[in-house]
Each structure stands twice: as C-alpha cells, then as structure tokens.
Amino acid sequence: MVKTSFVALAVFVACAVHVHGASDDVEVAWENFQAHHPINTKSQTETTKRKENFVKTHNMIVRHKKNKMATFEMEHNVFSVMDEEEKKLYTGAIAPASRDFTHYITDETMRQLPTSLDYRTNKCLSAVKNQGSCGSCWAFTAIAPLEFAQCKKTGVAVVLSEQQLVDCDTSNGGCGGGWYTSAWNYMKNGSAKQSLYTYTATARTCKFTSSMISSKVATYGYVASKSPSAMQSALQKYGPLAVAITVVKSIYSYKSGVYTDVACDNLGVNHGVVVVGWGTLSGLDYWIVRNSWGSGWGSLGYILIQRGVNKCSIETYPATVTSVV
C-alpha cells in the first residue's frame, strides 16, 4: 500500500491538470510539474527520489516526442513521480487459469457494422471513475457494463458500487486484484447503488444489505477471443465490453492519439478496462477504451488503443453483461 505521505498525491489522479507543451529542459519541466502537482514530500530524501522518477519519465516523453512516426502523444501527470511498484497499485487484473466456457456468448450473428460507434456520451454510461491506489480495476471493469445494461433495460441511468465488490466479493481479492466475470457471478445476488455504498479505495468489512440493491446480473458471457468483428457486434448488441490489457510504462503517460506501442504486446494482462466504441484516425483503426484512473488522465479518462491487432492483448478476454434482472 502506498505510504501515507503519498495519499495526497494519489487523489490528484481524478483532477490532474496536465503540463501541456512542457519544455524539453528537465529543470523547467520539473518546476512546471510541481506548480501543477504539489507532491508534499516530508524529507529531502523523498523529494530527491520523486525527482529521479520524474527525470526518468521526462526522458521517456522527450524521446517519444522526437519520434516522427509516433501515433500518440505523451505527457506528465501524477504517475510521473511514482515508483514502478506504486504504479502497479493502479492496476489489478488477474486472469483466470482457464476461461469458463459455460459462460460464453454463442450468438455471434454478424450484423452490418458502422464505421464508428461511441458510447462516451450515452446517458447509460456513468462518468469516468477513479480506483486510486487500490488494485480494484476488475471491479470498475465489471460495474460499467452492468450500469449500462441496467439503464438500457429501464431507461434510467444508475451508478453502482465498486466498493461493495472490494469488500464483499470473496471470489476476488479486493485491492489485491481480481477478475470481472467472477464479479458478475457474485452480482447475481445484487449490486448496491453507489450512493449507499461509497468508494474508499481500501478494503473494509462488508456492509452490504439487500436494501442497497439497484441491479442484479442475470446473464453474462465472453465474446469470441481475438475476433474484433465479434467484439464490434457485441458492442452494438449489448453495450460496453469488459477487457483486460497489459499496462506498460508508456500507458501511464498517455495523452492522446492512437496507442500503438509494441512494448505491451505478447505479455500477460494486468489491468481491466472497458471498451465503449471504435473508430479510425489517420488510417489507424482503434478501440475507445474507458480507464479507471479519473478524468484527469489521458483524454478525459479515455485512451484510443489500436484495433484489429490485439494490441496489449485487448482482444483476448472480451466479455459483457448480456441481461439483468
């Protein structure tokens, strides 16, 4: 768990003000960063460590900016001063040893696919949330499709509780990580309204009661693996898809554009996110991906990840809620 002195730093993820157009000069960039992201260190040793982390990130960003073939931009944000172990606390997907094929979407009848689809402004998609330094991405990945499915059925937007999953879902590991389909199985018994079970980014004693229920999962399933067209069809039919990706250093500093870094390919997944659409930019096909690091990260909390090549393993574990009670 992140030390107490770093907690204030973590909460800035949700409302970070990015340093746009920062100078390539590291000292100037460091001064600009501190003006926008006060780190409140308690000792010179800690300040020195934070600056060393910043310099490493800065050099990576500068090298990337000089790459004329780059398809995405990078920038400084609160992750710039974190150690690698601290950054890992913002992930948390643990893939199962094998998939449960009893929960598989078999209705893959292909339909006419539009050139783009974007649920970001759909009333059934709640605002981007922030998991903080708790490895609960799996819970956020599970909740967004359920919120959408519930709203799609009733016509009324709903915001559900990730904290209930962190505290009560014993099939997963709270802030220690988990998996979205296991969470859906748990939520067949009910998902609490967020206002009745608020998020704390720490594991606590379960306080869930049936009076808090605002939705229940009826059915869910995996979409065909490594089949972009099947994912598109499922997105059209059901709504947002839960997926797992491999987060590497460059993703923490993502700003905009289509993410194409080969560094994340052919590695084990470590983070759960939600695909909410697709499109094409400058000839590059992409997925629109909702993260759980707050709206201050990336493009208002979203990242565009290259589509059709299983970038960062995004097309390996797609799944979604197919019906609600």
Please tell me which residue in 76, 124, 134, 137 is annotated as part of the active site. Answer: 137
**266: annotated active-site residue:** no
Q: How many CB atoms lie within 10 A of CB 279?
A: 17
Q: Among this protein's residues, is 271 annotated catalytic?
A: yes
Cβ distance 263 to 280 under 8 Å? no
Among 67, 81, 73, 94, which residue's Cα sits nearest to residue 2? 81
Specify the DSSP element, H or E, that contains 140: helix 137-154
Q: Of the listed 77, 130, 185, 291, which one is catalytic?
A: 291
Q: What is the C-alpha separation between 163 and 171, in angstroms, rounded?
A: 14
Burial annotation 187-221 (CB, 10 A radius, 16+ → b, else e) = beebbbbbebbebebebeeeebeeebbbbebeebb
Q: Annotated catalytic residue: which of 18, 37, 76, 271?
A: 271
Q: Is 134 a catalytic residue?
A: no
Would you put residue 226 in left (φ > 0), alpha (ψ -120 to 50) or beta? left
Write out the catalytic residue numbers: 137, 271, 291
